[in-house]
Amino acid sequence: MAGRIRDADVALVRERSLIAGVVSEHVQLRPAGRNELVGLCPFHEEKSPSFYVNVATGLFHCFGCQQGGDVYSFVREIDGLSFREAAERLARRAGVTLTFEGGGTTDRTVSSQRQRLLEAHRIAAEFYAEQLGGHPSARAGWDFLTARGFDLTAAQRFGVGYAPTGWDALTRHLLSRRFTGEELVLGGLSKQGSRGGLIDRFHHRLMWPIRDLAGEVVGFGGRRLAEDDTPGAGPKYLNTPETPLFKKASLLYGAELARRDIARRYQVVVVEGYTDVMACHLAGVTTAVATCGTAFGPEHVAVVRRLLMDSDERHGEVIFTFDGDTAGQKAALRAFEHEERFATQTFVAVEPAGLDPCELWMRGGDAAVRELIARRVPLVEFAIREVLGRYNLDTTEGRLAALDAAAPLINRIKDAGLRHGYAVNLDRWLGFLDERFVARRVAEHRAQQAGGGHSASVASAAGRREPAATDPVVIVEREALKLAV
């Protein structure tokens, strides 16, 4: 076991690791006066930025949670690393070879587990990419890609690869590079076969490397290429399991490619699949990301807000694309249920024919995908219009019933100005041409909801009101299902 890292190396790595560069791999920063940058703190939830980085001193400090320190403390804290792991990570980034008291350098014997796993993933991604180019059965992978309009350049841009047929091609490759079997299992690249030996986790699949925000490969998503009924072919999509590197609750596929444009355009587009991310980026919607085999949840919200540098002064837009498959979106909206402000900046982009962005791109090209995103509507508007669609607005009775059904949705909005704005819109959509009447009616519902009482004048007209119909999640889900039919 090697001793501690030499002080001179620690200093050299610090000198070569500009804190602004390291921090901005995780947090969007903007200038805040001489020598200082500011952003949303990655260590606590906040709405206005109070996380400061001083480029002159090389220190960071958060006035909200009092976290602070130098570039080493930042990396340790953000990735949950030991000092040594943080030093190795920064050294690699800065191109410095660490030496240890008593001899030895960062090589196989002294490198930390995390660095070893990252290295194994880097080699695995290269291996898969080579297989896509050369393996005889990679043909099926190319068929999949070309059928969706992706060429060699696109495959290379996203690092797409191929996990070959057979049982242990990658495992043998990595063992020959002196990784241990335990490391391969821990990293989710290999697993125990039924006959005892190690086999690859992924077989005959098209492979997407999944990277963290710093651009390091931390796992893979694999699309099955075998026919549905092939024995042992496994699920259509198979991802890396939870490992020390792969934390699916906070990972977003494509985030390392999209992050600059997310910050620049104050917009993030959330799609369902890896091919949707590819299609969006190729179509010029370069703010697209996807979750990795899980629903969009609270930790994704936190990551997205940091990338948007979402603040009280400037709200970013989070746009969900909707197709026939609603499970993910349903959970996404649930995640926003308790975060009112985030909900008001959530938009929905629905493809009328039920196509996902990749299918849309295949059929309509770049313009169709960009048009889909441009046609986004606020979540609240989407939900209200869906409710109105269930009533006959040609009759006074129908319009009144629709008003009563939509009012609870408007009353979910906490901001009074926005609530008023939607009441005015509702009048326009209903065609009463009497804003004051509609606004008063909505307010009556609000008073009734707050008091828990039943105002006869309001309740009687509501006719077919059902409690679940006012839940945007339910409405959006039903709408999406309707589109899928």
Residue ranges binding Zn ion (CB under 5 A): 41, 43-44, 62, 64-65
Min dist. Cβ of residue 337 to Zn ion (A):
25
Report how far apart, in Å, the C-alpha atoms of 98 and of each of 13, 78, 86, 111, 266 are: 9, 22, 12, 10, 39
Q: Categorise residue 168: left if φ over 0, alpha if ψ from -120 to 50, beta otherwise.
A: alpha
**Minimum CB distance to Zn ion, residue 58 (Å):** 18
Largest CA distance in the chain: 88
- CA separation for the pair 95, 107 (Å, rounded): 14
Q: How many other CB atoms sit within 10 Å of the CB of residue 243?
A: 17
Question: Measured from the CB atom, is 44 or 446 closer to Zn ion?
Answer: 44
State the nearest-atom distance from the C-beta of 13 to Zn ion, in Å. 25
Q: How far is the CB of 62 from Zn ion (least distance, A)?
A: 3
Cβ nearer to Zn ion, comparing 37 with 41:
41
Is the Cβ of residue 43 or residue 100 nearer to Zn ion in the bound state? 43
Closer to Zn ion by CB, 43 or 167: give it.
Answer: 43
Instruction: Provide the minimum distance between the beta carbon of 47 and Zn ion in the complex, in angstroms, as a whole number.
Output: 12
Position 337: which residue type?
A: E
Q: Which is nearer to Zn ion, 41 or 360 (CB)?
A: 41
Identity of the residue, 35 or 48, whose beta carbon is nearer to Zn ion in the bound complex: 48
User: Of the two residues 51 and 179, which places its CB atom closer to Zn ion in the complex?
Assistant: 51
What is the nearest approach in angstroms of Zn ion to the Cβ of residue 61? 9
Q: Which is nearer to Zn ion, 123 or 302 (CB)?
A: 302
Q: What are phi and psi of 306, to 5 degrees?
A: -65, -40
Least CB distance from residue 394 to Zn ion, whole Å? 55
- The CA distance from 245 to 121, in Å, is 10
Q: Compare residues 41 and 120 and give the one whose CB is closer to Zn ion.
A: 41
Q: Cβ of residue 305: shortest distance to Zn ion, in angstroms? A: 13
Return the structure tokens found at 464.
Answer: 């077919």
The one-letter amino acid at 227: E
Residues whose CB is less than 8 angstroms from the CB of residue 333 and which lie 6 or more positions away in sequence, other chains included: 346, 379, 472, 473, 476
Min dist. Cβ of residue 67 to Zn ion (A) = 5
Give the nearest distance from C-beta 390 to Zn ion in angstroms: 46
Can you read off the two tokens belonging to residue 190? 């290999």
Q: Which is nearer to Zn ion, 64 or 364 (CB)?
A: 64
